[in-house]
Structure formats: C-alpha cells, structure tokens
Amino acid sequence: MTLDKSQQKSSFLPMAIVAALFFILGFATWLNGSLMPYLKQILQLNPFQASLILFSFYIAVTFTALPSAWVIRKVGYKNGMALGMGVMMIAGLLFIPAAKTQVFALFLFAQLVMGAGQTLLQTAVNPYVVRLGPEESAAARVSVMGILNKGAGVIAPLVFSALILDSFKDRIGTTLTQVQIDEMANGLVLPYLGMAVFIGILALAVKKSPLPELSNEDEVADHTDKSQIKAALSHPNLALGVLALFVYVAVEVIAGDTIGTFALSLGIDHYGVMTSYTMVCMVLGYILGILLIPRVISQPTALMISAILGLLLTLGILFGDNNSYAIANLLLVPFGGVALPDTLLLIAFLGLANAIVWPAVWPLALSGMGKLTSTGSALLIMGIAGGAFGPVSWGLMSSATDMGQQGGYMVMLPCYLFILFYAVKGHKMRSWSAK
C-alpha cells in the first residue's frame, strides 16, 4: 500500500484534502456534545436515555469496522472516502424526519447511520496520513491531523450554539410547552440539511479530485482470520492495550459529550458550547505531547502522568462544589471569560489528561508485534467502541446515585486506574505467565 515517488512529490493537494476530511470527521463527532443536551431538553430524556444518543453513534464502530475494511478492498480508498461521506450525508438528512416527528428512535437511527459513515470514512482516510509523505515524518502528520480533529471539536459546539441554541436560552430550566418543543425541534432542520448538502458536495469533490489511489501490494492477510487474532491477543501488551484504549475512549467521550448535559442540569445558559472547553484542553494536550515526548519525558511516563491527572480531576469533580467559581475567577473571568462552576471546568480539564493517552498507547501496544502489527492495529481500532459504553455507564450511574449526574462521573475512576496499570506494568508484559 504505497505511492510511487512522483505521487509523493505532489502530495500537498492530497494532504490538504485529507486534512479537510479529518476536520469534517471531528466536526460531526463532537457535535454530539451539543446535540445530547439539546435532545434531552426537547424529548425530556433522563440521563440514561440521553446517553443512548452517544451509544448509537459509537456502537456503529463495533459493527461496521471490519465490513468497512471489506468495502475498501472492493472499491478502493478514494471511492471509500466518497462512499463514507455519502452515508454521512444520508444520516444528516435522516435528522429532518426525526426532528419533525420527535421520535427518539429515529434520532438514534440517524446517529447509528452517521457513525457507520464515519467508520467507513476513517477506514479509508487514515492510511493516507502515513503514506502521503516520508515515513519518518508520519508521526508529525498524525499529530497535525489529531489537532485538526479536536480543533473541529472546538468549533462544532460554537456553530451549533450560534445556529440553534441562542434563540432558546431563556427556556433552560423551564417546563416546555408543545409549541416550544416543536419550535426547538424544527430548529434542527435547516442546519442538518445544510450539513448534509455540504458533505454531499465534498463527497463529489473527493470523487473527482486528483487524490491518488493507494495500491494493496503491502496489504497483509485478512484481519478477521481467527488464527491471526488469537496470535495477536497472545501478546499481553497488545491485549491490555486494546482494553486501555477501550476505557480511554470511554472517558474521552464522557468528558467531551456529557459536559453539556451536566451544564444543562446546573442551569448554565451556554450548555451547548461546553464541549468546546474540553476540546481546547485536548488540543493543548496534543501540543504539549508534540513538544515534550520523547525530548523531555518518555511515552510510558506521559501515560502515567495522564492517568494520575485523570484520577485527581475525577475526584475533584465528584467532591467539588457546584456553587464554587474559584477556578473561573482565577483563569477565565479576569480575561473576559464566563464564570462557570469548578466542577464543569474540572470536566473540561480532563481533555488535558486524555490527550496523550491515544498516541502513547499505540506504540506501546504494538511493540514487538512484528508481522502481526496490522492485525494488532485493527484490534486497537475496535477499542473505539468504548465511546458507546462509557456514556451509558455514566447515565446508569447518574440515575443510581444520590449525587445525580455529578455522581455519574464515578465510572471514570476504574478507567483511569486501568490506564495507570497499563502505563506502569501492562505495556511491559510479554507473556501471560506469572514469571
């Protein structure tokens, strides 16, 4: 799966196209942080029901990751990108009947289709980041794409708030009439129609673009081969790495996509932009990672620091005072920022703790895999399914504790503890024996 030298020399335009696709992926993904509390308000959902909005989006990875690889082998990478965006366009259009009928199941189905389209697009676009340029600079390109993805996560909630939420800020904490519910639901129609049209046009542009096709000469055996999967999982650092990514994506999505719902429960006017705070912290974490690893600290050390910081922040969230604004008064208000409760800002700071985990776990998990590296990579991708189960666990815990949604963040403690175990010992294990 390589490009010839002439193609690599003219890789600027293809990389620009890939960068745009990573931005679109991030925009559609982190839009969920604003959509979740908005639908909670319109459909009068409890925390568990609201968490299903995220579950239906991320569970698509579990069911469509391997089929997406099959599709790419059949139609090619370039056509796979266009097809993935075509599915995302259909998902955007599905939000229109969902908004008109206010049927929760239709919203969940639209989210499922959006997740499937994103999985196909990700399967097709990720190899370009590595192959469109020198191998020695691939890590830098991966980091840039990560910043673009999370940068889109900063912008998406701001756009959602400007287009949809600003007209309905006075309805937070009030009992909505059916007329008001209809008005809020109809506010989704034009933005999602516009997004569907834009993605559709971009799909056609990619289809007609000079984006070079990747050859399959280096493609390894089928990742669904049971013997390969069994052999890969016999490596403890890989198997434990898959679990580490599973719990990592769980806490990443909890921090990014439930913060708005928690803000709504606290009566915060701008609940729809809260995901942006978490994403800003993630982008800052990416930048620190690029600057510090491995010049100043090693990957295992960075992973250990991330886990410890995640644990401390989670404890701060659980035992923090929702009526205290000390952090905002120190960091935001003096610079013209909004006064927000400490607990909300601690959730946002989780973005800083989470940013380094994904890039740190991958090389540690794939160390020593040899010919099984590609199969190991496919298994690690499956860890994204943690994004489906993390918010659901948060929703269930929110309903089960006297602390409500604040108590729901308790589910992150075992996740960070496992990441800490992996950083200290798990990544070093080369055998399941207790020697």
Express each pLDDT in 342-358 by its tens digit: 999 999 999 999 988 88
Query: Higher confidence at residue 226 or residue 402?
Result: 402
How far apart are the C-alpha atoms of 290 and 356, rounded to whole Å?
9
How far apart are the C-alpha atoms of 306 and 423, rounded to whole Å?
9
How far apart are the C-alpha atoms of 292 and 116, rounded to whole Å?
35
Q: How confident is the model at residue 137 (pLDDT cuts 50, 70, 90)?
A: low
Residues counted in the chain: 435
Q: Rounded to two decimals, what is the model's pTM?
A: 0.84
Q: Is the pLDDT of residue 363 over 80?
A: yes
**Overall average pLDDT of the 208-215 stretch:** 74
Q: Is the pLDDT of residue 5 over 70?
A: no
Express each pLDDT in 297-326 by its tens digit: 888 898 999 999 999 999 999 999 999 999
From residue 184, give the alpha-carbon distance in Å to each of 17, 32, 41, 163, 169: 35, 17, 9, 12, 11
Nearest 5°: the CA angle 312, 307, 310 is 35
**Overall average pLDDT of the 49-54 stretch:** 91
Q: Is the pLDDT of residue 327 over 90?
A: yes
Query: Higher confidence at residue 169 or residue 424?
Result: 424
Q: Is the pLDDT of residue 23 over 60?
A: yes
Is 120:83 a contact under the CB 8 Å cutoff? yes
Is 128:214 a contact under the CB 8 Å cutoff? yes
How far apart are the C-alpha atoms of 340 and 58, rounded to whole Å?
29
Burial of 271 by CB count in 10 Å (0-12 exposed, 13-18 middle, 19+ buried)? buried
Q: Is the pLDDT of residue 226 over 80?
A: no
Q: Is the pLDDT of residue 81 over 80?
A: yes
Express each pLDDT in 250-302 by its tens digit: 999 999 999 999 999 998 988 889 999 999 999 898 888 888 877 888 888 98
Q: How confident is the model at residue 221 (pLDDT cuts 50, 70, 90)?
A: very low
**Overall average pLDDT of the 414-427 stretch:** 95
Residue ranges with strand state E in 114-271: none
Is 384:61 a contact under the CB 8 Å cutoff? yes
How far apart are the C-alpha atoms of 112 and 131, rounded to whole Å?
30
Express each pLDDT in 170-207 by its tens digit: 677 677 788 888 998 898 999 899 999 999 999 998 88
Express each pLDDT in 380-416 by its tens digit: 878 888 999 999 999 999 988 888 899 999 999 999 9
Q: How confident is the model at residue 6 (pLDDT cuts 50, 70, 90)?
A: very low
Radius of gyration of the chain (CA): 21
Is 42:180 a contact under the CB 8 Å cutoff? no
Q: Is the pLDDT of residue 3 over 50?
A: no
**Overall average pLDDT of the 208-231 stretch:** 66
How far apart are the C-alpha atoms of 184 and 213, rounded to whole Å?
44
Q: How confident is the model at residue 108 (pLDDT cuts 50, 70, 90)?
A: very high
pLDDT for position 4 = 47
How far apart are the C-alpha atoms of 99 and 265, rounded to whole Å?
23
Ranking 47-51, 120-124, 168-172, 175-179 by mean pLDDT, the lowest is 168-172
Is 286:279 a contact under the CB 8 Å cutoff? no
- Domains defined along the chain, listed by start: 1-219 (1.20.1250.20), 223-427 (1.20.1250.20)
Q: How confident is the model at residue 163 (pLDDT cuts 50, 70, 90)?
A: confident
pLDDT for position 379 = 82
Angle separating helix axes 12-30 and 189-208, nearest 10 degrees? 160
Residue 433 backbone class (left: φ over 0; alpha: ψ -120 to 50; beta: rest): beta
**Overall average pLDDT of the 49-55 stretch:** 92
pLDDT for position 96 = 94
Express each pLDDT in 143-155 by its tens digit: 778 788 888 988 9
